[in-house]
Amino acid sequence: MKLSTSQLNQLAWSIDADGFLPHEDEAIAVALQAQATGVDSAVIGVLADRSIPAPVRERAFGQVVIAMARAEAAASPDWALAN
pLDDT tens digit sequence for 14-45 = 999 998 899 999 999 999 999 998 888 899 99
What is the rounded distance in angstroms from the CA atom of residue 5 to the CA atom of residue 61? 14
The distance of Cα 79 from the centroid of its chain, to the nearest Å, equals 20
Burial environment of residue 80 by CB neighbours within 10 A (0 to 12, 13 to 18, 19 or more) = exposed
3-state secondary structure of 30: helix
**pLDDT value at position 81?**
54
Distance CA 38, CA 19 (A): 27
Q: Which of the two residues, 26 and 77, has the higher pLDDT score?
A: 26
- Cα torsion 51, 68, 17, 57 to 10°: value is 20
pLDDT at 5: 87
Is 80 a residue whose pLDDT tops 80?
no
